[in-house]
A and B are shown apart, each in its own frame.
Chain A
Amino acid sequence: MGRPALEVIDGGAASGRARLAKLYSTCGGAVFSRCRYLLKNPTAAEDALHEVFARALQSESGFRGDASPLTWLLKIATHHCLNVLRADAAAWHEQYRGAQLVRGEAHGGAQALEDRDTVRTSLARFDLETQQAVIHYYLDEMTLEEIARVLERSVPTIRKRLRTFADQTGEALRQGDQHTEGP
């Protein structure tokens, strides 16, 4: 039994295939880049890309309420990919990768990885919300206020999470972001 090859998703004049085409041409590359960065696997990244946009289409109200579609899509992508990584954490390839990292340290320390890779490989030690904050801070170069808004947390909470990450990994916070309000 066949089905229509394409199905328009309800939602008004700007919805359906035309809206998807606009998001594809304006945000697709950035979202795909985020998925590839986190998942390190082109096939998994493309699957995640589809999932992210599908979720965006399903969450019509949240999507329309956000002033920045790109910010919103990157938030979904980051959250989704981090969850995929967590779900795969017990898989054999993760165990293998972990063993390789340990071996690398025993053989003279970390190699000259770029900062982005250092951030990525350090993520697994932290809770999901910290992971999200770290990605938005170091990759998206968002301000604490922007991250707080996206993750619906207070600025001090975000700062605390980033400082925990920075303290444990040796990464630096940007100037002006280290200080905690109050005495």
Chain B
Amino acid sequence: MTTHPGALSLRRLLAGEPDEAHAAHLAGCAQCQAAIEQFKAEQTQFEAKVPFERFAAQVEARARPAARPVDRRAERRVALALAATLVVLVGAQRLWPAPTTRLKGGAGVELVVAGPAGTQRLAAEGAPEALVRGERVRIGVVPAGWHFVLVVSVDAQGAVTPIYAEGTHSLPLSGESPQFLPDSMEFTGQGLEHVVVLLSDRALDVDVVGHALRERFAAVHGELNRITTLEVPGEQFHRTFLKP
């Protein structure tokens, strides 16, 4: 049976939390001192990997209280208003003079993030992709037999916005080859935004998809990261962004 303090007790000592008994043990125990050194190295590596400014900006952005109307009718009006300001569509040719795709195999999408300085990266799957001001997102699609695409998004307050649609329904894809959707988008506002790309063999009704997305949003209690499959036909892809 060990008489050494547990790992958490040692970590607490290192964090400056008072514990006289364990501190006395530590002073005379090489094994525990070695563990402390290991935890110090872990902290050093952490600080190198996650700089404080980035850490603080992300934490503070998420910790801000949300202020949203609760009236559903008002919420719908806000959503409609946001549709005009949520994304700013800009000419894509300046960002991607020669669009290329790295999509492989069956149907798929890539959400490419382009920075003002010309850098590009793929939006992460599973975890929110943090955007900085001025970054734009463009969507690449491999149809693989699907004929229509619809892109919708929902923000942390549950406001659903159609991003790519043709009127009240999905946008027809132009042929079978991999393709980027027209233009790119720049997210405004703050907080998280969950984007869903839906490929289908017939045009989907934007209202039906919006309803399905709101249902999922409610089912996961607004945790956008947890939104997965919507109850609509076709194939779908999900990404979450942290707006600048």
Contact = CB atoms under 8 A, between A and B. Distances in A.
Interface in A14-59: 17, 20-21, 24-30, 32-33, 41-44, 46-47, 49-51, 53-55, 57-58
Interface string A89-111: 01100000000000000000000
B169 to A, nearest CB: 29
Interface string B1-30: 100001111011011110000000000000
A88 B60 CA distance: 26
A175 B59 CA distance: 41
A30 B39 contact: yes
A6 B225 contact: no
Contacts of B15: 26-27, 30, 69-70
Contacts, number: 126
B8 A140 contact: yes
Given A26-B15, A69-B15, A91-B228, A142 B55 contact: no
A151 interface: no
B56 A24 contact: yes
A71 B12 contact: yes
B216 to A, nearest CB: 12
Contacts of B42: 29-30, 33
A81 interface: no
A84 interface: yes
A176 interface: yes
A68 interface: yes
A172 B94 CA distance: 62
B63 A54 contact: yes
Given A30-B11, A33-B42, A70-B11, A5 B57 contact: yes
Given A49-B55, A91-B228, A29 B47 contact: yes
A70 B17 contact: yes
Contacts of B58: 50, 54
Interface residues of B, number: 44
Contacts of B50: 28, 32, 46, 49
Nearest to A42: B49
B115 interface: no
Contacts of A1: 188
Interface size class of A (residues with CB under 8 A): 35 or more
B45 A29 contact: yes
Given A27-B15, A69-B17, A176-B1, A50 B127 contact: no
B4 to A, nearest CB: 9
Nearest to B227: A87
A41 B11 CA distance: 23
Contacts of B44: 29
Contacts of B12: 68, 70-71
B134 to A, nearest CB: 11
Contacts of A90: 228
Given A24-B52, A143-B6, 19 more contacts: A6-B56, A6-B57, A20-B55, A21-B56, A24-B55, A29-B45, A32-B46, A47-B127, A47-B225, A49-B55, A53-B63, A54-B61, A54-B63, A70-B15, A71-B12, A87-B223, A87-B228, A136-B8, A140-B7
Interface of B: 1, 6-9, 11-12, 14-17, 39, 42-47, 49-50, 52, 55-65, 124, 126-128, 133, 188, 190, 220, 223, 225-226, 228
9 contacts: A6-B60, A9-B60, A28-B47, A33-B42, A49-B55, A53-B59, A55-B63, A74-B8, A91-B228
